[in-house]
Structure 1
Amino acid sequence: MAGSSFQVARPMSISEITEKAQDFVFDESIAPKTWLRTGETLLREAQIYERERNDQQAYMLLMRYTNLIADKLPKHPAYRQPENKQGVLASVKTLKEVMRIMEDLKPQINARYDAYMEKNKNREMPVDIDGSRASTWANFAASDPAVAGNTTTLDAEQNSQLAVKLAHKEIRRRDAARRAVRQAGVSEREEHRRRTAGLWDGWDSGLSRDGASTSRDDDEMRRNMEASRRKMDGPHKIVSDEVINRQVNSRPTSSRSGASGYHYPSITRSQPVRYQDNLESRSRSISPKRNLPPRPPKETFNPVYESEPPPRPGKESVDSIEASMSDPKATFTFRPSAYLENGNPLRTIFLPPTLRTEFLKYAESNTRRNLETCGMLCGTVISNAIFIQQVVIPEQENTSDTCEMINESAFFDYVDSQDNMMVLGWIHTHPTQTCFMSSRDLHTHCAYQIMIPESIAIVCAPSKTPSWGVFRLTDPPGMQCVRACKKPGIFHPHEESNIYTDALRPGHVFEAEGLEFTIVDLRPDS
């Protein structure tokens, strides 16, 4: 293993971070409950970055959440539909607390930026011949709140083993905190209620730090948020900046005990056939000899990578980097290892090398019967890198060409019960087909990539060569093409040829030897 760093010293201003936060496409063709789930993911990510003292990225994610919930979502045509009422109310209730946290982060962001500008007021930024900023990797990094301002960032490829050690250390810390919660007499159900009720769930960190047996009750806003999520019966209004405070403070505290009746809705598959099918009436046993429509040509697969890979900086002492891990104040930031086609950075995903082979063991009985099997890739963010920790196999209905998650609420209840767990994509088998992304696969994956741009789709084709691949949609043109597509049916062509690409390096996905993971099978007959 080789240690390496790269200096990206210039921090970002509040206005620059705000501009970055607002730079996302809000598509009204995507259901509100998908956007609500995206908002929940933004909060989970912001919590992690705030804990790691990466206040720029935490501020950006919270600002994006505020923009999504208070500005974009109320303009959605389906915003007022009854099925979205509880989710909207739950999200609105968090806004005041989100704004308070943003105000707490502002002074340190401003102080760091002002100090840098004062120190470098006579220094000019490099420019190209046409007068624009030089299009170097350093300038791309300087526009990334997760990296800008960090004095040292690490290269993922050269520090994969360090990344594994960091991940295991942080996961052990979280497990210790979870055990402290149990020892304090807090049940799993009560823990889940507290996590969904409060934004930062600081009560459990307090338990792990000093062994306190009761949650913190001195935060009035957090109690109001808890009460609002448990009651969920207020007026349904379009959100504006003027009414946020009134909506948060006007609802009485519920005296009803028990867990919240609302959980953020799960992501639905975006293909039209999903809405036309009646899953409850669909037979669990489908004949493998049924007649299928003729298949169109496969989607053309043209790998596209970033045009300017990061430079390879000079080596540093591995011992000095690992020694600093023992310092509780030490912070590590992995810089992006790839970029979307639109120039936006992609955080590195560390993938356990044995994950696919272990998953295939769980899928073996279906594979023998020519039935597809799917699992959800779940994990967390640590030091601006993403680590796959679990494959969760949900209850599903399988055919030779499709696998549909059913009982989605049970799956997302499980994910929500885990500390800082996020859905990072999916894995599925092609029992007899080659390793490619079908049109149905592309529509399915689009919803994951909207939620987290780094989301990946792993395809396993055990009877073919190559036997597996890791893919993402191009952006552009793949994401835009799939979102605009309204064609029905399992197989249909798309106009774009460069619709998806390989995500394995030199993309943003790295296999990390020794990275621990588990497989959780939620199927009732497993």
Structure 2
Amino acid sequence: MASPGIFSEVRDPSERVRQLCNYACKVDIDEAIPPKRYLRSGLEMMRMAKVYQEEGNYESAFILYTKFISLFVEKLPKHPDFKTAPQADVSAIKKKVVASFASAEKIKAKLKERYTAIEKKRQEEEKRIQEELARKQAEEEARRKEIEELEECKRQEAETKWLEEQEARLQELKRQEVERQRQQEAAAAAAVAAAAAGINSGAPPNFLNNQIPSAPPGNLSYIPNDFGGSTKLVDIDSQPAGTGPIIPDRDLKKNLLINDGPSVSSPLPSVDRTTKPPAYDHFMSTGSSSGNKFGLRDVIIPSDLPRKFLVKAEHNTLKNIETCGILAGKLRHDAFVITHLILPKQSGTSDTCVAEDEEDLFLYQEPRDLITLGWIHTHPSQTAFLSSVDMHNQYGYQAMLPEAIAIVCSPKFNETGIFSLSIERGLVEIGSCRQKGFHQHNKTPPLFEDSSHAKTVDTEKIEVADLR
């Protein structure tokens, strides 16, 4: 499985490789750890880099090769005890450094090629997105114009209807006015005729009952076709005498406009999510992220490991003597798999156990390309926990590989614990402590914790090598 990719926010291929180099060169050493330990761990680092390279995880391989070069060319030679390191180990590392330069350059070219392809694909995808966005915007614009044209058509229809209604009403008012004047004139003519008839008959005219009607109101105002004025139209019967009908304000047509078109929403802003290196770094880390705390890689434990170890430790357990073993394995698809349990020559007491011949361990692991993944020991008469001596021993493993675990088996209480020093507190406090033997450490917050990145499975089997 390829690394998800760190510094993915960097678009320029050469700059991205440069960022990987800068990240890989941030290597620190602990002067309390002897150079020999680093030299042996360096060989395991090369095994890991080779596995990453074979699996096509070029980022992780390149980072480890670069860290290896930085560690053994720049950093470790400054260790106060470097001159006391075994010359055979130093010579072996120097050969590995030369090979690492060649491997790093080869992978660097592949990374540039890969990053160039990624950037090209990203640009093509961005172009496709922009074209799709432009197409949608054009569709929205066409839709908006269509809605505007429809609204304008409705507005014009409403205005035409309004004008026709006002014209019809005006004509009706004129007709009513003409009819009223005709009736008044007819009434006046009738009154004159009646008065004349009274004179002819000798009767005096009755002026009280036949009053002459008042003069008709003034001329009606006529609204020009361009409706440039702003006179108001009201009921003629409510107007004072001598005024004509008033036409309603043309601005009233605004109330007739219809706006039922759907709204056009603006596109949502894009969010740039980038991948960052994990919060905790280490000279064995590759920067790849995982679902585990601090980006630690999984450690796969065969379920039959504790049982087989207790069988080997039974003789010591019956005598209340601790037994210890080394956990070794392989790197597979960015996870560590414990494949071997190695019991070295050792001496123990009721509460301590010390491996006596590290060279035998090295000679066993080296030809098998095994990586040290932690250790296991018994507490014959106590529960499963890490004592102060255990924590200092665990620091030596975890300082070399952050995923290294400590398994504690308590046959008396039927307990098995899988522990790691806490990165926030345990590694810092134990790493700075120079006390020997059993001594006190603060228990709150705890310096060790359950190894959340350790997974027990039934699909793997353990191979036991008893070197005692």
Shorter-chain TM-score: which interval?
A: 0.5 to 0.7
Name the aligned partner's letter for residue 347 of structure 2: E
SS for the counterpart of 1:80 is helix
Residue in 2 that maps onto 1:120: 122
CA contact (8 A) 2:322 2:353 kept: yes
Instruction: Tell me which amino acid in the other structure corresponds to 1:508.
Output: H
Structure 2 CA distance, aligned partners of 1:77 and 1:143?
Answer: 26
Structure 2: give runs of 5+ residues left out of the alignment.
Answer: 9-15, 127-270
395-404 or 7-16, which moves further after superposition? Answer: 7-16
Which residue is equivalent to 1:439?
A: 388
Determine whether 1:474 maps to 2:422: yes
User: Structure 2: how far apart are the matches of 1:457 and 1:119?
Assistant: 45
Mapped to 2, the partners of 1:359 and 1:75 lie a distance apart of: 40
Do the aligned partners of 1:481 and 1:494 also contact (CA within 8 Å) in 2?
A: no
Q: Hey, what does 1:448 align to over in structure 2?
A: 397
Cα shift at 1:431: 0.5
- Once superposed, what is the RMSD of the aligned Cα atoms? 2.9
Equivalent residue for 1:521?
Answer: 466
Which residue identity lines up with residue 363 of structure 2 in the other structure?
D
CA contact (8 A) 2:64 2:286 kept: no
Residue by residue, what CA displacement relative to the aligned partner does 1:197-249 show, whole Å, maximum 9, x if unpaired?
xxxxxxxxxxxxxxxxxxxxxxxxxxxxxxxxxxxxxxxxxxxxxxxxxxxxx
The Cα offsets for residues 47-100 of structure 1, whole Å up to 9 and x where unpaired, read as 11112121111111110100100000111111223x443322321232222101
Among all aligned residue pairs of Structure 1 and Structure 2, give the percentage whose two residues are the same amino acid.
32
SS across alignment from 2:82: coil
| Structure-2 change in CA distance of 1:147 and 1:448 (3 Å) | closer
Q: 1:133/1:405 Cα in 2 relative to 1: closer, same or farther (>3 Å)?
A: farther
For residues 8-28 of structure 1, give each alpha carbon's deviation from its aligned partner in whole angstroms, at most 9, with x where no partner exists: 477753123223323343222
Shift of 1:337: 3.4
1:462 aligns with 2:411: yes
Write the mapping of 1:417-436 to structure 2, written as runs, cut at 5 A: 417-418=367-368, 420-436=369-385
Whole-angstrom distance in 1 between the partners of 2:297 and 2:22: 20
Equivalent residues, number: 314
Aligned residue among 40, 48, 53 for 1:50: 53
- Supply the AA of the counterpart residue of 1:112: R
1:146-157 alignment, distance < 5 Å? none
Does 1:380 pair with 2:330?
yes
Q: Does 1:355 align with 2:305?
A: yes
Between the aligned partners of 2:3 and 2:302, the Cα distance in structure 1 is 29
Q: Does 1:25 align with 2:63?
A: no
Residue pair 1:10, 1:142 contacting (<8 A) in 2 also: no
CA contact (8 A) 1:10 1:116 kept: no
Contact 1:428 1:459 in 2 (8 A): yes
Match of 2:43 in 1: 40
> Whole-Å Cα distance in 2 between the matches of residues 77 and 141 of structure 1?
30
State the distance in 2 between where 1:6 and 1:102 align: 17
Is the 8 Å Cα contact of residues 277 and 287 (structure 2) preserved in structure 1? no
Q: Give the distance between the partners of 1:498 and 1:8, measured in 2 at CA.
A: 33
> Does structure 1 retain, via aligned residues, the 8 Å contact 2:304–2:461?
no
Offset at 1:352?
A: 0.9
| Larger RCO (CA under 8 A, 6+ residues apart) | 1
CA spacing shift, 1:19–1:445, aligned 2, 3 Å: same
Give the conservation status (yes or no) of the 8 Å contact 2:306–2:409: yes
User: What SS is found at the alignment partner of 2:83?
Assistant: coil
Instruction: Considering fraction of residues, name the structure with more helix.
Output: 2
Partner of 2:291: 337
1:97 aligned partner, one-letter code: A
User: What code does the residue aligned with 2:54 have?
Assistant: R
2:102 to 86, 92, 100: 100
Residues 483, 379 of structure 1: alpha-carbon distance in 2 compared, 3 angstrom cutoff: same
Distance across 1 between alignment mates of 2:3 and 2:434: 46
Q: Aligned to 1:511, what secondary structure does the other structure show? A: strand
SS in 1 for 2:435: coil
User: Are the equivalent residues in 2 in contact too, given 1:375–1:394 (CA < 8 A)?
Assistant: yes
Residue of structure 1 equivalent to 2:432 = 484
Give, in angstroms, the shift of residue 522 of structure 1.
0.7
Q: Distance in 1 between matches of 2:280 and 2:447?
A: 26
Q: Distance in 2 between matches of 1:479 and 1:69?
A: 23
Read off the aligned partner of 2:458 and give its amino acid letter: E
